[in-house]
Amino acid sequence: MTENIIEVRNVSKSYGGVVANHDISLDVPSGKITGLIGPNGSGKTTLFNSVVGYHPTDGGSIKFEGQEISEKRVPDIARLGMLRTFQQTRIYSKMDCMDNMQISVSHRGRSVFDMFSSRKGEIADRAEVLLEFVGLYSKRNLISGELSFGQQKLLEFAMALMNEPKVLLLDEPTAGINPTLINGLIDRLQRANEEFGVTLFVIEHNMRVIMNLAQHIYCLAHGEMLASGQPDELQNNQLVIDAYLGAH
């Protein structure tokens, strides 16, 4: 049986009187791609934020590689090897792509001087390899703010890979991307999983994308777990169909 790298048990989170997550439990198997779907407002991003330490939960347990992390915050969780991307890219828009890549490297307890002196060549080499991996090598010296939105998402993905994460949480990676770039992004996500061994946990609204990408999918609705299963099971689940139809 595949070991679960993330285990969420009975997690709840409210904002004032609004319940964003209620009694959520799920597993993210190590080395796999797991999907998280649901209508707008179903609590997907709140759950991601709880897992990576952006806010405390109101109750429940979150474990990473068997270690309780529900009381930890973003820097500590990042050092353990779990990172996330966002719906709106977080890049340094006035820097070129290479600078973005190099500045994204976590200090991991090293001084800035050490990181950008003795390791400068190593970091630059890795940056170029990953920019090639995502198809941005020819644009490595361009100011990142001049890239298309889809290219900026590819850059953010490459920046996350610079830190060699064990797990990468992707919040709507294809949102706002030109359809011509989507297939290339899917391919790179799959290759990152297969070639680099990065476990992926993905929020995605594009059903074609998530059904072709994830091996197992969870569906939230109104802050609660509605259903889970393999892609074909979710596609034919009437509760999931009704939740999406009811959201329009």
Q: Rounded to an integer, what distance in angstroms lies between the CA atom of residue 78 and that of residue 219?
A: 26
CA quadruple 42, 48, 53, 58: dihedral, nearest 10: 30
* CA–CA distance, 232 with 164 (Å, rounded to integer): 32
pLDDT tens across the length of the chain (248 residues): 459 999 999 999 999 889 999 999 999 999 999 999 999 999 999 999 999 999 999 999 999 999 999 999 998 999 999 999 887 788 999 999 999 999 988 644 444 444 444 466 888 999 999 999 999 999 999 999 999 988 999 999 999 999 999 999 999 999 888 888 888 889 999 999 999 999 999 999 888 899 999 999 999 999 999 999 999 999 999 999 998 866 54
Domains of the chain plus CATH, in order, are: 1-81+165-248 (3.40.50.300), 91-164 (no CATH)
As a whole number of angstroms, the distance between CA 218 and CA 240 comes to 10
Residue 163, helix vs strand vs coil: coil
Cβ neighbours, 10 Å, residue 195 = 10
Q: Are 29 and 5 in contact (CB under 8 A)?
A: yes
Phi, psi of 59 (to 5 degrees): 175, 165
- Tokens standing for residue 205: 């609204």
| CA-based nearest residue to 149, from 174, 128, 127 | 174
